[in-house]
Amino acid sequence: MGRKSVESLAGRWALVTGSTRGIGQQVALGLAQFDCNVVVHGRTLKNAKETLGLLREYPVETAVVAGDLGTEKGIRAVVRGVERGPGHIDILYNNAAIQNQWQSVWEIERATWQDAFDVNVFALIALTNAFAPGMVERGYGRIINVTSGIRDIPHLAPYSVSKAAVDKYTADLAAELEGTNVLVNTVDPGWLRTDMGGPNADHDVTTVLPGALVPVLLEDNGPSGERFAAQDYTWSD
């Protein structure tokens, strides 16, 4: 992927959930490289301090919203924060997710399944419902849902099943948004050395770029309902 071959996102606003660290932080910094304004999200305002500091290196505007996406209150706080800040977003990057603790699939309690779906699926849907209609009205939008390549690990079934639900929701949403220039796609970031991925993962977190940006940078009326693998892309210049 060539840096110089891609148009600037100047003037656009992106909300990146879970952008205080890990993949979300890398996505926020990557967007800033293309002049995109960024709304940083964390569970608390304090958690966003590091990412906001890193973004100061770029000539972009920033805002911060806080809220626990596992709760209705937290989701409402994020939506209100965007409304009080930039007022709208053009790019919704649904990155925030949780993973359950390793345990026998037979012993996983209902509450654990509920927690995974609350953050990984239901919050993603709620944020999409809040912001996608405005994108349709303006004739431009990019929605990126982070998925996973995890497979055959029943000990982490709540996480993997929630990501399968994200894949199906993305496909359905793409059908709903056909012809609107609001493109919705998934990104598989690969197995990364993050707090979630652990120290033995295949790739450093920085390798999620530039691939994680590909569905953001699609041309108008480009592919929708597709799956992009971040590790398939590298910078060519």
The residues carrying an active-site annotation are: 159
17 contacts 127 by C-beta, under 8 angstroms: yes
- CA–CA gap between residue 199 and residue 185 (Å, rounded): 28
121 and 165 Cβ atoms separated by less than 8 Å: yes
Exposure of 232 by Cβ count < 10 A (0-12 exposed, 13-18 middle, 19+ buried)? exposed
Q: Would you call 194 helix, strand, or coil by DSSP?
A: coil
Strands (E), 57-170: 62-66, 91-94, 141-146
